Structures are given as structure tokens and as C-alpha cells.
């Protein structure tokens, strides 16, 4: 990312901010949809996340990594805040709470959209731990701290999530 664009964004230049938004909106929309299986929540987090990014952009240090990594961290925290607000995290694990995606959509080709649908079909607790551990690369201790759960709960949730996804993939790839 062009350093002068970042400076302009910090200075509050709206067109520079829009340029940055346009560059990352799809990547971050995918991230939001991995955590939330309804579009309204994903849109809310996308909006809230970008406002935070523009508000705190002066804190970004380019020596510590790429801009997108920093932005992703802001978005992950925003997602987790929303999940914590919902207070549903580990209550939502009964089978009736998640929808199994229509196989016809998935079997055609395993595009990212389909993979995301599979993740979205997981209960919120499984999905959050899976996203944080597998995709974001957090360890169980960090996940426990972020979500206010024990390490062993995090491990159990991950194992159940992986078993569920494994079952779905096996069905598709048969």
C-alpha cells in the first residue's frame, strides 16, 4: 500500500479513504462472512471495522507488518466484540441451530464461497474457534483469553468443528 495514501487517510482525505476501502472491501467482507452467517451482521461489522481502521490508522506501524495484516486484526477484534455482545457463543451448539448447506451449491466446484458456506453452517462457537485457530493462526491459550473460555473448551470446540467439516467434505468429495 502506498505510504502517501495512508498519510492522506490519516489526514482525513475522504477520497483516499474510499480508495483504501475499495482495495480491501472484498477481502474483509469475506472475513466478516466467515464469522457471521447472516449478511446484516457481516455488513455491520464491515462498516464498524472500517470506521475503526480510519480512526486508528495513525497507530499503524509499517515496520511491524503489512497494512492488511493490521487491518485484519482490527476486523477480527471487531467480529469478536460483536460475538461477545451477542452472548450466544457456546449456547448455540445443538444440531437444530445450524443449517446444512444445499449440497447442489457446493458439489459443482469448491470455490471460496462454498467453503465459506460450510464454515457459516457451523454453530457460532465452533465457527469462531475454527476461524481463530485455523485461519487466523491463534493458539488455544490466546483464543481462551479472547473469548473468555478455557483452553480445553477451545480445543473441544475446534475438534467438533473439524469433525463436522470433515463429514461435509467427505460427502462432497465422494
Chain positions contacting other proteins, by CB under 8 A: 12, 14, 17-18, 21, 25-27, 29-30, 34, 43, 46-47, 50-51, 54-55, 110-113, 115, 119, 130, 134-135, 159, 162, 165-166, 169-170, 173
CB of 159 to other proteins, least distance (A): 8
Cα gap 5→17, rounded to integer Å: 8
CB of 128 to other proteins, least distance (A): 14
Task: Name the 3-class secondary structure at 101.
Answer: coil
Nearer Cβ to other proteins (14/97): 14
Cα gap 30→42, rounded to integer Å: 9
The contacts found for 53-57 with CB under 8 angstroms, 24 or more apart, are 53/20, 54/9, 54/17, 57/6, 57/9, 57/10
CB of 133 to other proteins, least distance (A): 8
Nearer Cβ to other proteins (107/159): 159
CB of 87 to other proteins, least distance (A): 25
Q: Which spans in 11-60 are helix H?
A: 14-35, 39-56
Amino acid at each position: 500500500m502506498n505510504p502517501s495514501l495512508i498519510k492522506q487517510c490519516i489526514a482525513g482525505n475522504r477520497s483516499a479513504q474510499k480508495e483504501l476501502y475499495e482495495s480491501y472491501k472484498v477481502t474483509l467482507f469475506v472475513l466478516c462472512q466467515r464469522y457471521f452467517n447472516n449478511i446484516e451482521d457481516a455488513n455491520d461489522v464491515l462498516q464498524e471495522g472500517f470506521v475503526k481502521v480510519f480512526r486508528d490508522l495513525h497507530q499503524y506501524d509499517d515496520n511491524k507488518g503489512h497494512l492488511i495484516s493490521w487491518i485484519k486484526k482490527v476486523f477480527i477484534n471487531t467480529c469478536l466484540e460483536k460475538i461477545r455482545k451477542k452472548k450466544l457463543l457456546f449456547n448455540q451448539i445443538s444440531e437444530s441451530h445450524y443449517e446444512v448447506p444445499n449440497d447442489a451449491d457446493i458439489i459443482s466446484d469448491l470455490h471460496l464461497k462454498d467453503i465459506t458456506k460450510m464454515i457459516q453452517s457451523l454453530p457460532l462457537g465452533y465457527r469462531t474457534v475454527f476461524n481463530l485457530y485455523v485461519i487466523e493462526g491463534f493458539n488455544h491459550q490466546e483464543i481462551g483469553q479472547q473469548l473468555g473460555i478455557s483452553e480445553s473448551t477451545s480445543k473441544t470446540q475446534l475438534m467438533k468443528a473439524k469433525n463436522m467439516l470433515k463429514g461435509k467434505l467427505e460427502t462432497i468429495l465422494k
